[in-house]
Amino acid sequence: MSEITDTHGPGTHSPGTHSADTATPDGAAAVLRTTAAIRERAQALLARARRFESGYFTVNDGALHSTAALVAEVTKARYPELKIPYHSRWRHFEAGGIDRRAQLDAALGNVSPAERARAQIDLALVSVLLDAGAGPDWKYTEAAATGVPEHAYTRSEGLGVASFHAFMNGLFSSDPQQPLQADAEGLKAVTAARLAEAFQVADGNPLVGLEGRAALLRRLGDALLSGPGVFGLPARPGHLFDHLTRTHTRVDAHDLLSALLVNMAPIWPAQNAIGGQAMGDCWRHPAARGTGLSDGWMPFHKLSQWLTYSLLEPFEWAGVEVGGLDSLTGLPEYRNGGLLLDSGVLRLKDETLAQKTAVAGDEFIVEWRALTVALLDELAPLVREQLGLTAEDMPLACVLEGGTWAAGRALAQRLRDGTPPLNIQSDGTVF
């Protein structure tokens, strides 16, 4: 398996960014699957906007410090002792103050640390793939349990809790004797109807992108079967643990991302392709300059990076050291991007764009997301400074959790009852 590794921090470029032959589809794809390329192009688009050359946005640098102060304030309110965990799917499994990881551990019983990690990776990976925006009208009602009353969850928490219970009930396993796993055959059997039942979808409780989510899981099943050297037999996402720890006791975050991007490329919608290489969350922008066939593409890989953030803890809980966290970028989604618009760091040149129903490939959405990546890197040290923490104390994964995502959601709630500042149509595979 070809892996492109970038263990450098924000703003630096790994040699892998330039060593591939971008005249070929494989080489261009390899470059566009590095976070160095994401940062390099995002920073170029931000510099362009600061030169007043963007057709869509102006940058108000004076608002960066007040935005950092807001993020610091939200962080202190959420984590008064500043013991900030990673921004990951595991936070949503803690919704309502319930330790659902402990519920999974209890159900697994006396298994090895490696098998526990496999189950946790199975759960997190499938849950993240189901995590694109739920829409404003959907909720998941968790039944009452011992000492815990019935409670309804919405948006990301709702999707997290719903997918947790679907996993616990064996929806993603083909083996009734081993329900606490996600395997290829189980995933290939997931239909929109079965997913709708598990997620309590009804006429009065619609979930955005239901068909897209189910199709994504079925394509994941096919991808697992096509990579037995990585995903093993039975083919499970959790075998990534064995693949990455076979010869190392330390895993680099970008190696984990690379393994996901290379081996899961077939699951993404095929319209974003270079030659025969499906590129997933990578979009055209004329000012995203690069060499060869990579020119004009702006990569993000938001869902894959969110997945990487969400798999770090299962490795660590199993005793594996994870390094290079800040090689991953901030996540360009509507909470982080919304924070920058709602706080005034970014301003739309044409306010009517806020009323438009946009899609992920629209040029102004691509640019908004690129500016979000670059500005999160600039915001992070300002937030740390406000809190008196170092980059080691508070890596970007913790700035997001503290943090920018929560502040973006809070501002959206205050200004528009929680809806994002730009209206993006979701098919359940990007946002």
Q: What is the pLDDT of residue 180?
A: 98
The number of residues in the chain equals 431
Q: How far apart are the first and last CA of the chain?
A: 28
- The average pLDDT across 237-249 equals 93
- Residue 404 is which amino acid? T
Give the containing element (helix H, strand E) for 151.
Answer: strand 151-154
Tell me, yes or no, whether 325 and 305 share the same domain: yes
- Residue 389 is which amino acid? L
Percentage of residues in the chain having pLDDT higher than 90? 82
Residue 263 lies in a domain: no
Chain segment 29-39, per-residue pLDDT in tens: 999 999 999 99
Q: What is the pLDDT of residue 188?
A: 98
Residue 355: exposed, middle, or buried by beta-carbon count in 10 A (0-12, 13-18, 19+)? exposed
Residue 268 lies in a domain: no
8 pLDDT tier (thresholds 50, 70, 90):
very low
Tell me, yes or no, whether 79 and 95 share the same domain: no
Contact indicator for 171, 186 with CB cutoff of 8 Å? yes
Give me Rg for the CA atoms of the chain: 20
Distance in angstroms (rounded) separating the CA atoms of residues 25 and 29: 6
SS (H, E, C) 287-316: CCCCCHHHCCEEECCHHHHHHHHHHHHHHH
Tell me, yes or no, whether 300 and 390 share the same domain: yes
Q: Does the pLDDT value for residue 2 go beyond 60?
A: no
Q: Does the pLDDT value for residue 15 go beyond 80?
A: no
Residue 138 lies in a domain: yes
430 pLDDT tier (thresholds 50, 70, 90):
low
Tell me, yes or no, whether 145 and 76 share the same domain: no
Q: What is the pLDDT of residue 5?
A: 30
- The average pLDDT across 15-23 equals 66
Distance in angstroms (rounded) separating the CA atoms of residues 288 and 69: 31
Percentage of residues in the chain having pLDDT higher than 70? 93
Tell me, yes or no, whether 40 and 141 share the same domain: no
For residue 15, what are the contacts with CB-CB under 8 A and spacing of at least 6?
A: none
Residue 218 lies in a domain: yes
- DSSP state string for 51-110: TT--SSEEE-GGGHHHHHHHHHHHHHHH-TT-----SSHHHHTTGGG--HHHHHHHHH-S
Tell me, yes or no, whether 125 and 161 share the same domain: yes
Task: Encode burial over 196-222: b for 16+ CB neighbours within 10 A, e otherwise.
Answer: bebbbbeeeeebbbbebbbbbbbbbbe
Residue 252 lies in a domain: no
Domain count, the chain: 2
Closest CA to 44 of 326, 391, 333, 297: 297
Distance in angstroms (rounded) separating the CA atoms of residues 228 and 226: 6
Tell me, yes or no, whether 288 and 342 share the same domain: yes
Residue 116 lies in a domain: yes
Tell me, yes or no, whether 147 and 180 share the same domain: yes
Tell me, yes or no, whether 336 and 377 share the same domain: yes
Distance in angstroms (rounded) separating the CA atoms of residues 229 and 18: 28
What does DSSP say about strands 357-358 and 423-424: parallel, antiparallel, or unpaired? parallel
135 pLDDT tier (thresholds 50, 70, 90):
confident
Chain segment 97-120, per-residue pLDDT in tens: 999 999 999 999 999 999 999 999
Contact indicator for 70, 360 with CB cutoff of 8 Å? no
Q: Per 3-state DSSP, what percentage of the chain is helix, strand, and coil (rounded to 5)? A: 55, 10, 40
Residue 269 lies in a domain: no
Provide the domain limits for residue 112: 88-247
Q: What is the pLDDT of residue 267?
A: 87
Tell me, yes or no, whether 305 and 394 share the same domain: yes
As given in the structure block, the two tokens for residue 37 are 């390329």
Residue 103: exposed, middle, or buried by beta-carbon count in 10 A (0-12, 13-18, 19+)? middle
Average pLDDT, the chain: 92
Tell me, yes or no, whether 65 and 197 share the same domain: no
Contact indicator for 387, 75 with CB cutoff of 8 Å? yes
Tell me, yes or no, whether 117 and 15 share the same domain: no
